């Protein structure tokens, strides 16, 4: 059991990894060693150490998700990455639509709503059409679509989309495929090579237990040279320390999307958490997660049990309840169970640090009302 490798917040069972993963104990030391100590000892000469910490973050992502470290660019979050990407995408006559599902995470949808400023129009697949179905995407990927934003694991339903098949459709139809892995990186087996997407946007705040501020953008090697972002800074430069105001050359790799003076602390912390999750093994994490979801499901009354199909979801169980004042919600709160609510949906999740006893306890709270 890996529970003792994490700081566990209390009181009550913590089933909120889909929102914020628990802090690994090793990450506290890593933050001090890679960020605070160089600052303390070197002051302005700490940049070599700090940039090494960020490079370590890129390398840890490549070790976990595949590709090369050079394919990854640090981002503060997915929305920022998407906002930088859209204006940089090549545009062609007759293709002016960016396609996404209506239940895309709102922060990303807000970026898409402003896509008109970049020359694109946004089209949303209605909620009535299953975004985890290849057929839904096959029908929606029409000849006027330039790019598709595909959510791997949906935050308010838990449904998992067959990204590799959707990306293959996009390739066949000349459409750029952008994938959101915020709710899947760290819990579902994921390979950037097997996905076959053009761009992948992710975050470390959830299943990777890396905290907020450590997002990332992965870009297919064959595409990166065609992208000319407008949101740049000295760390987007091929040589950030050239300091010639009349000379700007894009970095040859994904770093062209980096921008100005970078944050360091989030990436120093997240690099250690990614290494920890990688060392445990995604297959181990996922098997444990499935076992606990089944333990939760088995303890529920039949009318609740039948509403959970583990074959279709990622790491998070999303169940509709009547409202925020329902008996279920009151029972969970009375027993200090740490879950969250999105409208009429209650969300809960189990990571490697949760126990079968916790899963059963939450189910008894849920079903005993």
Angle at 77 between CA 73 and CA 83, to 5 degrees: 80
Give CA separation, 259 vs 41, 45, 230, in Å: 27, 21, 10
Residue pair 257/237 in contact by the 8 Å Cβ criterion:
no
Alpha carbon distance 366, 369 (integer Å):
7
pLDDT computed for residue 325 by the predictor: 56
Alpha carbon distance 27, 24 (integer Å):
5
Give residue-wise pLDDT tens across range 3-54. Answer: 999 999 988 999 999 999 999 999 999 999 999 999 999 999 999 999 999 9
CATH 3.40.640.10 residue window(s) in the chain: 28-278
Per the structure block, which two tokens stand in for 2?
A: 């890996």
Instruction: Quickly tell me which residue has 């959970």 as its tokens.
Output: 308
Is residue 41 packed enough to be buried (19+ CB in 10 Å), middle (13-18) or exposed (0-12)?
exposed
Backbone angles phi, psi at 145, to 5 degrees: -85, 125
Q: What is the chain's pLDDT, residue by residue, as a tens digit (369 residues)? A: 799 999 999 889 999 999 999 999 999 999 999 999 999 999 999 999 999 999 999 999 999 999 999 999 999 999 999 999 999 998 888 899 999 999 999 999 999 998 778 889 999 999 999 999 999 999 999 999 999 999 999 999 999 999 999 999 999 999 999 999 999 999 999 999 999 999 999 999 999 999 999 999 999 999 999 999 999 999 999 999 999 999 999 999 999 999 999 999 999 999 999 999 999 999 999 999 999 999 999 999 888 898 999 999 999 999 987 655 588 888 999 999 999 988 889 999 999 999 999 999 999 998 765
pLDDT computed for residue 369 by the predictor: 52
pLDDT computed for residue 328 by the predictor: 86
CATH 3.90.1150.10 residue window(s) in the chain: 3-23+281-367
Give residue-wise pLDDT tens across range 87-131. Answer: 999 888 889 999 999 999 999 999 999 877 888 999 999 999 999
- What's the N-to-C CA distance of the chain in angstroms? 31
Q: Is the CATH number 3.20.20.70 carried by domain 3-23+281-367?
A: no
3-state secondary structure of 100: strand
Please give the model's pTM, rounded to 2 decimal places: 0.95
Question: What's 28-278's CATH class?
Answer: alpha beta
Per the structure block, which two tokens stand in for 115?
A: 């896509």
């Amino acid at each position: 059991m890996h529970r003792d490798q994490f700081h566990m917040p209390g009181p009550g069972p913590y089933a909120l990894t889909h929102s914020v993963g628990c802090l690994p104990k090793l990450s506290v030391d890593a933050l001090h060693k890679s960020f605070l100590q160089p600052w303390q000892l070197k002051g302005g000469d700490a940049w070599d150490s700090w940039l090494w910490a960020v490079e370590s973050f890129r390398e840890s992502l490549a070790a976990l998700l595949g590709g090369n470290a050079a394919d990854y660019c640090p981002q503060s979050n997915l929305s920022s990455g998407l906002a930088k990407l859209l204006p940089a995408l090549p545009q062609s006559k007759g293709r002016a639509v960016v396609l996404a599902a209506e239940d895309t995470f709102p922060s990303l949808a807000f970026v898409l709503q402003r896509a008109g400023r970049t020359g694109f129009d946004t089209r949303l697949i209605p909620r009535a059409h299953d975004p985890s179905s290849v057929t839904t995407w096959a029908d929606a990927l029409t000849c006027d679509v330039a790019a598709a934003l595909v959510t791997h694991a949906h935050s308010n339903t838990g449904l998992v989309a067959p990204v590799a098949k959707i990306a293959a459709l996009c390739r066949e139809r000349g459409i750029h495929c952008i994938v959101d892995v915020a709710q899947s990186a760290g819990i579902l087996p994921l390979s950037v090579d097997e996905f076959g997407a053009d761009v992948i946007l992710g975050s470390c705040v959830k299943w990777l237990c890396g905290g907020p501020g450590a997002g990332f953008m992965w870009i297919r090697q064959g595409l990166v040279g065609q992208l000319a972002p407008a949101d740049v800074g000295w760390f987007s430069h091929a040589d950030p320390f050239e300091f010639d105001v009349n000379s700007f050359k894009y970095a040859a790799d994904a770093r062209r999307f980096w921008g100005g003076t970078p944050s360091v602390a989030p990436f120093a912390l997240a690099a250690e958490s990614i290494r920890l999750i990688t060392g445990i093994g995604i297959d181990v994490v996922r098997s444990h997660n499935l076992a606990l979801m089944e333990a939760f499901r088995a303890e529920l009354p039949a009318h609740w049990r039948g509403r959970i199909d583990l074959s279709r979801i990622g790491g998070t169980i999303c169940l509709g309840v009547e409202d925020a004042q329902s008996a279920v919600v009151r029972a969970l709160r009375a027993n200090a169970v740490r879950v969250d609510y999105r409208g009429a949906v209650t969300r809960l999740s189990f990571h490697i640090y949760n126990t079968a006893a916790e899963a059963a306890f939450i189910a008894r709270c849920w079903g005993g009302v």
